[in-house]
């Protein structure tokens, strides 16, 4: 699950930057096998003509800017743990609704408390 606003754009940027991050191209839109490449073409030339979400006007500029370390950490934590991605309050609510509370806790067995 991904919150509708900012995290969605972060995920899309991550995906559409893959070839750029791998240094296969100088600009993300140059990778022919990317959705970004086709998004720039006329609608009748695109394999999929319906956009699930409307991209911002400055999307090309945004995609070509690297994600911050904080964004990458949050995204990777979400993918690796199967954890919802978004604002803390939204993440807790969705994790509860989808029975994913375990993805919010550290992995492994809880540490033992001090001996009494």
The pLDDT, as a whole number, for residue 115 is: 72
Q: What does the pLDDT read at residue 28?
A: 94
Tens of pLDDT, residues 13-51: 999 999 999 999 999 999 988 888 887 777 777 776 667
DSSP element (H, E) containing 93: helix 88-97
d(C-alpha 46, C-alpha 14), whole Å: 21
Q: Which of 87 and 114 is assigned the larger pLDDT?
A: 87
Query: For 41-97, how does the pLDDT look when each residue is reduced to its tens digit (9 = 90+)?
Result: 777 777 766 677 778 888 899 999 999 999 999 999 999 999 999 988 999 999 999
Do residues 3 and 15 lie in contact, with contact meaning Cβ atoms separated by under 8 Å? no
Q: Which residue has the higher pLDDT, 2 or 34?
A: 34
Mean pLDDT of the region 98-111 = 88
Task: Give yes or no for a contact between 2 and 11, defined as CB atoms under 8 angstroms apart.
Answer: yes
pLDDT, position 52 = 73
pLDDT value of residue 56:
84
């Amino acid at each position: 699950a991904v919150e509708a606003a900012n995290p969605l754009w972060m995920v899309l940027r991550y995906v559409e930057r893959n070839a750029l991050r791998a240094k296969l191209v100088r600009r993300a839109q140059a990778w022919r096998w990317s959705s970004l490449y086709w998004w720039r073409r006329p609608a009748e030339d695109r394999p999929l003509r319906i956009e699930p979400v409307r991209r911002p006007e400055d999307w090309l500029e945004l995609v070509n800017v690297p994600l911050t370390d904080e964004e990458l950490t949050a995204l990777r934590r979400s993918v690796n743990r199967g954890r919802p991605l978004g604002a803390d309050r939204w993440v807790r609510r969705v994790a509860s609704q989808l029975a994913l509370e375990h993805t919010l806790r550290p992995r492994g067995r809880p540490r033992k408390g001090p001996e009494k």
